[in-house]
Amino acid sequence: MSHPAPPAADLAGRHVVVAVCGGISAYKTAELVSRLVQRSAAVDVVMTAAARKFITPLTFEALSGRPVRTDMFRLRDSSDPQHLALTEQADALIVAPATANIIAKAAAGICDDLVSTMICAAACPVVFCPAMNHRMWENPVTRRNVEALRAAGYRIVGPEEGWLACRHVGMGRMSEPATILQVVEEILRGAGRS
């Protein structure tokens, strides 16, 4: 009986932070984390309170092999300003799913939880992977916020058109993990280590 070849370890030595926000497509983020780990990336996951309504930290701990951070004020040790330290060590920060809420917060510079504070303090490239209802995506305020993030140098991946959790077809579906991974690979290749 033959077994499939293991994934390439081409992301060894790379560190990616994945910020999970509250949307049904958080299940896709679990697959993204798994793919990154299978390719030997070190992955730290941070979650908003809303994200934990859709998927548990235990899922991401099992996939990443690392503790999940959920609280800005629960430090691992007394010198752990995690909203700074994690992104200082990271090669990329991926926000997936990026809800209309987190996009609005980031565009306005609001820092009221661990994820929004990490985005503002990030010392690495930040990739937003939007996912929301099609009317939310088409809202002029959301569009303005997305353009503000692009203008500030953030990468936006997606969304795509398809079946949405609201049982409609439209633009707002989070990009597939393979698509997001391609963008992350480009960033990591461009960020070469010296």
Residues 38-54: what's their mean pLDDT?
A: 95
Least confident span in 25-29, 83-87, 129-133? 83-87
Q: Which domains does the chain have, with CATH numbers?
A: 15-189 (3.40.50.1950)
Residues 45-74: what's their mean pLDDT?
A: 93
Enter the tokens of residue 113.
């939880």
Question: Would you say the C-alpha torsion 138, 98, 90, 16 has a positive or negative sign?
Answer: negative
Catalytic residue among 21, 120, 129, 166: 166
Question: What is the predicted pLDDT for the residue at 194?
Answer: 34
Q: Whole-angstrom Cα distance, residue 36 to residue 41?
A: 5
Question: What is the predicted pLDDT for the residue at 141?
Answer: 97
* Three-class secondary structure of residue 101 per DSSP: helix
Residues 106-120: what's their mean pLDDT?
A: 94
Query: 129 an active-site residue?
Result: no
Q: What is the DSSP letter of 69?
A: B
What's the pLDDT tens digit per position in 58-68?
999 999 999 99
Name the phi and psi angles at 72, rounded to 5: -65, -25
pLDDT, averaged across the chain? 88
Question: What is the predicted pLDDT for the residue at 74?
Answer: 66
Share of the chain above pLDDT 90, in %: 68
